[in-house]
Amino acid sequence: MDQKLAVVIMAAGKGTRMKNPDMAKVMYTVDGKPMVEHVVDLALRLRSARTIVIVGWQKNSVIDSLRRSGKSVLCVEQSPQLGTGHAVMQAEPQLKEFTGDVLVLSGDVPLLTEKTTSNLISSHRDSGAAATVLTAVLEDPSGYGRILRDAQGHVVGIVEQKDASEQQQEIKEISSGIYIFQKQPLFQGLKHITQENAQKEYYLTDVFQYFWRKGLPVRAVLANDPIEIGGINTLQQLDEARAEYARRIG
């Protein structure tokens, strides 16, 4: 029997660098469709049993847009916005009766393909890992959490840039912010994370420390094309994403 999949889409962020405080970042369009809707479409193509969109900044515009689209999603508010770990915590009541895997996607990553995501899911399930991270190797890894590996190549840490040492900031393999978890250890781990970091936020990546303490395996899958996992944080990046999307469908 197929394992069930739930998808949690992060869409609460303000997007300060987009220079428009009246517009939720995930509502900027690519090919005439809000970025978040591209991510919802991906979740539905993956046959998500439950798709939860975490909303926050300018939430009504996101909720109304998704309602008009007619797509089967549930919107849950994150207020206040205390980080990625806190965002996923908001989905727990909606997944109380769900058993399966939880895929975490970002509402500002509209170029991620079904092929790459399906590979992440199948690799996760084949390995029996508690969690699997989609990673990429970037020439300029600025702004991303870095993947720490041991001498055998096993993932032993993920450190956010603002908490990384100078040596760790030289690492070019980054966490895309896209993960798949077994549900039970995910929400168990979220109970053990704290705000003791530079941002004073609950980082989703801190659940991995709990996993390692408990001897639960964490795996990583490398995306073949780093363009796919790029988050849209500036108008220039939005223009680049639009051009890449047009190239794909052209």
For residue range 62-100, list pLDDT tens digits in order.
Answer: 999 999 999 999 999 999 999 999 999 999 999 999 999
- Residue 2 pLDDT class (50, 70, 90 cuts): low
Q: What is the mean pLDDT of residues 22-31?
A: 94
Q: At what angle do helices 114-127 and 35-45 cross, to 10 degrees?
A: 50
- Residue 21 pLDDT class (50, 70, 90 cuts): confident
Does domain 5-249 fall into CATH 3.90.1570.10?
no
pLDDT exceeds 60 at position 188: yes
Using a cut of 0.75, tell me whether the model's pTM lies above it. Answer: yes
Q: Where are the domains of the chain?
A: 5-249
- 186 versus 230: the higher-pLDDT residue is 186
Q: What is the mean pLDDT of residues 229-242?
A: 94
- 199 versus 89: the higher-pLDDT residue is 89
Which residue matches tokens 């051009």? Answer: 243
In angstroms, the Cα distances linking 48 to 56, 100, 178, 223 are 22, 11, 15, 21
Give yes or no: 17 in active site. Answer: yes
Q: What is the mean pLDDT of residues 109-124?
A: 97
d(CA 65, CA 36): 10
d(CA 112, CA 122): 16
pLDDT exceeds 60 at position 121: yes
pLDDT exceeds 60 at position 1: no
| Residue 105 Rama label (left phi>0; alpha psi -120 to 50; beta) | beta
